[in-house]
Structure 1
C-alpha cells in the first residue's frame, strides 16, 4: 500500500496536468476571451438573420439618399423585432463608398450598427466591393465597427493573409457553443473577404483609380488549413463534433453554372440577376478561376459545411448544390434601400435556423421580406437538391 500511494499521487498529478494543458489549449484558441460566449438556445436551436447589400451613404447631397438610409434602418428594426435572432450577419456592401465623403465615411457605420447595439444582438460583418473606394476601405470600416459596437465579433486576419491589409483583411471565424458552460464549440461561422472595389489614391477624384482584385486571396487557403488543424488539436475532429457555415460577399465563379441549371421547383427564390462578368469572383482561363485555392480549401478542409452564403447580386435569392464538391450555395436577400433594384424584388433578409447542436444537423432557411412575407423556404441537409 505504501508503494501504491506515491504512484496514485503521481497519477493524480499527471491527470491534473493533462486537464490543465487541455484547458489552456482550449482557452488559447478561443479568439474572444473577453466577449460573451455565443451559444445555442436551451431548445437546441440557433437562429441567424443575414442583412446584405445595405448600401448606406448613397447621394448624401440629395434628399433620397438619407431617406433611403432611414428606410433601411427601419427595415432592420422591424425585422430584428420580429425575428429575434441569436446572431446577425451583415454580408457586405454596407456602404456605397464612392458616394461618401472622407470626413464622414466611417461614421456611417454608427448608423448601420445602431439597431444591433440597441437590442444588444451579437453580429459579424463581411465587406464588399463598394466598401473599398477612394474614401473608405475594408479596414477603415472594421476598425470603426470594433470601436462603436461592443458585440461586434468582426476581426482581422493575421498579417499577410487575405492580400492587401487595407482592402482585404476581413477573414476570420467565430465559435458557437452548445451551452454557455461547454468547453468546445459545436458550430464555426467562417467569414471571408472577397475584396473588390478600388484602392485609395492621392487624387480626390482619380481619373484612373486602382482596382482591387475581386476574389478571396490565395493566401487564405493555407490559413483555412492551419486554422482547422488548430481546432482539431484543441477540440477534436471537426467531422465528428462541429458544423460550419460560411459567408463571403462576392460569390465564387462556379455559381454561374449553377444558375444555368436551376430548377425552380427544387431551388426556389427570385432569380432575376443574370450572372456573368462582375457578378462573381473573377475567373481566369483555368477551370478553377482565381478563387480556386480558397474554394478548394474551404470545401476540402471544413467539415459539415452547411452552406456558403453570398450577397452582391441583388436580384437573386436561391440556393443550389454545387455538384463537384457537394456543397450548397445560397444567395442572400437585398437588405437595404440603397443599391440597384427593380420593381417586385422587394427588400428583406435570409434567415437560417440550426435545428440541433449535432454536426449532422439540418438547417432551415428562408427569405423574409420587410412586410413579413416568407418565401423560398428550404432545408439545407444531405437530401437537399438531390
Structure 2
C-alpha cells in the first residue's frame, strides 16, 4: 500500500522525530485527540498586540497539553489570519503553532479554514510548509482544482499492529477543507479580491463516498470514524434555531445565529454579494455525512462562541436532509487562540475513543473541553442516549488580555 493510503507523512524533515507511525491506539486501549481551532496567528504583526496574541496562544497550547496526553493533535482550521499576512512570510507562523507539539513529539493533522485561504496565503504553500515536519500528517488526497487542500483520511490501528498492510484499522479519521476566504493572488476585472466558495466541494464529496465504499469492500466491514471540518454544515444552524438545551447539549451558545457552510452565497453558486442568506451548496456534503456508515461525530470550529454538541437524528425545519436514525453527533470545539474575536476562555476539545468499543462496532466517544486555566467543562458521552441525558451546564468563563485586540476576524 502507498504512504498516502496509510496516512503517513512525507519523509523529508527539518526536525527529528520519534513519532510512531502509523497512528495506533495506545497500550491502555484508548485513542485520544486534542482539537485546537481558530488559533488565528499572525494578526497585525506591525502592532504590539498582534505578536502578544500569538505568544498567549502558544501558552494555551502548552497549558492544555500539560494537562492532557493526546495521541494526535488536530488543528481544525483558521491556523493563521491570512488576511493580515504578507506574501513573503505568511507561513512563518506554522513554526510557532507546532513548536509545542514538536517539543512533545506529538503528531498532528490539520484542516484549513476560511482565514487559511487568502489573497496572500496559499493553502497549498501552507501544506508544503507543514509537511517539512515529520510530525505533520496533513495531506491532500483530492486533486480537483475546486477541492481545496486538506481533504484526506488517516487510519488508526490497534496497539499491537506493526505491519499496517496486514492489519485492519479500528478507526478512520476524515478531514475536509470547507474553503472560504479569498482566491490566492487573484483579482477580478475591477481589481478586487475574489471570494472563495465556503463549503466542501462536490468533488470531495464524491471522493469521500467512493473511498469509504472501497474501504468497506477492502476490509469487509464498516470501520467507525470521526470527521473534522472547519466551517459547520447548515444542519447545526437549523438545530440552533430549534433550540439548544444547556443541560442536554452543554456548552456556550453565544454565536447566534452561527455561520454555516454556503452562508452568503446564492443558489447559483456564483453570486456572493450578500443578497442571499444561504445557497444550499453543502447539501451534498450533509447527505454524505448522514449516510456514511460508522460515522460517530463531526467536529467544527469557525463560530468562536459556540461549544456544544448535538445529535443529528431527524429532519429539522427548513432542511431537506435528515440525520440517520442512529444519529451523527455534530460538535463545536473551543476557541483556542487569542487571535480572532471573543473573550471566551481559550481551550481545546478532547475526544477519547475506546478500543474495546470500536472493535465491537460500538459508535461512541467521550468528549470534554480542557480550558487554558486547567478546568474541564462540557464533558459528555456521545452515545445512544446523548441528547436525552442530563449534564451540568457550561458557565462560559471569560479571559482577557489587556494588550490584545479582540476585534480581529472570525
Scaled by the length of structure 2, the TM-score of the pair is 0.80
Give per-residue Cα distances to partners, 1:324-380, cap 9 Å, x unaligned: 2121100010000000003xx110010011123423152110111100111111101
Identify unmatched segments of 5+ residues in structure 1: 1-23
1:245 to 2:222 alignment: no
- Deviation digits for residues 208-233 of structure 1 (CA, Å, limit 9, x no counterpart): 21000000001112111211122123
Gaps of 5+ in 2: 12-19, 269-277, 315-321, 389-410
- Indicate whether 1:274 and 2:273 are aligned: no
How many angstroms does 1:288 deviate by?
8.8
Equivalent residue, structure 1, for 2:372? 370
1:28–1:60 Cα change, 3 Å: closer
Checking the alignment, whether the CA contact within 8 Å between 1:250 and 1:281 is kept in structure 2 is no
Quote the offset at 1:382 in angstroms: 1.5
CA distance in 1, matches of 2:283, 2:4: 31
Is 1:314 aligned to 2:286, yes or no?
no
Q: 1:30 to 1:346 in 2, by over 3 A?
A: same
Residue aligning to 1:51: 36
Q: Where does 1:265-344 land on structure 2 (aligned, <5 Å)?
A: 265-276=247-258, 278-282=259-263, 289-300=280-291, 302-322=292-312, 323=314, 324-325=322-323, 326-342=327-343
Assess if the C-alpha contact under 8 Å between 1:251 and 1:281 holds in 2: no
How is 1:168-207 mapped onto 2 (pairs within 5 angstroms)? 168-181=148-161, 183-201=167-185
Q: Paired residue for 1:355?
A: 354
CA contact (8 A) 1:37 1:180 kept: no
1:181 aligned counterpart, secondary structure = coil
Q: Does the Cα contact within 8 Å between 2:178 and 2:261 map onto a contact in 1? A: no
Distance 1:328 1:106, change over 3 A: same
Give 3-state SS (helix, strand or coil) of 1:76's partner: helix
String of CA shifts for 1:121-147, please: whole Å, max 9, x gaps. Answer: 011000000111111022121111001
Show the counterpart of 2:200: 216
Quote the residue 1:112 is aligned against. Answer: 97
Q: Does 1:257 align with 2:238?
A: yes
**Alignment partners' CA distance in 2, 1:381 and 1:70:** 37
**Offset at residue 96 of structure 1 (A):** 0.4
Paired residues of 1:29 and 1:234 also in contact (CA < 8 A): no
Structure ranking higher in helix proportion: 1
Q: 1:36 to 1:288 in 2, by over 3 A?
A: same
- Label 1:28 to 1:307 Cα distance change in 2 as closer, same or farther (>3 A): closer
Q: Show the counterpart of 1:63.
A: 48
2:121 maps to 136
Q: What is the number of equivalent residue pairs in this alignment?
A: 348
The Cα offsets for residues 141-195 of structure 1, whole Å up to 9 and x where unpaired, read as 1111001x211111002321xx536xx1210000001224261110000000000
Is residue 175–residue 228 contact of structure 2 (8 Å, CA) maintained in 1?
Answer: yes
* Residues 48 and 69 of structure 1, relative CA distance in 2, 3 Å threshold: same
Identify which of 82, 93, 112 aligns with 2:67. 82
Tell me what 1:381 maps to.
Answer: 383
* Cα displacement string for residues 273-320 of structure 1 (whole angstroms, at most 9, x for unaligned residues): 0125x44443756999201112212321x3221111100000000001
**For residues 126 and 30 of structure 1, what CA distance do their matches in structure 2 show?**
18
Secondary structure of 1:71 counterpart: helix
Q: Equivalent residues in 2 for 1:13-24 (5 A)?
A: none
> Cα–Cα, structure 1 residues 29 and 360, in superposed 2: closer, same or farther, change >3 Å?
same
Say whether the 8 Å CA contact 2:267–2:281 is kept in structure 1.
Answer: no
Q: Which structure: larger Rg?
A: 1
> Distance in 1 between the 2:211 and 2:302 partners?
27
Output one character per residue of 1:76-130: Cα deviation in whole Å (capped at 9) or x when no partner: 1121121011111000000000111111111111111111111110110000001
Give 3-state SS (helix, strand or coil) of 2:109's partner: strand
- CA contact 2:309–2:332 (8 Å) conserved in 1: yes
Q: What is the alpha-carbon distance in structure 2 between the residues aligned to residue 295 and residue 383 of structure 1? A: 22
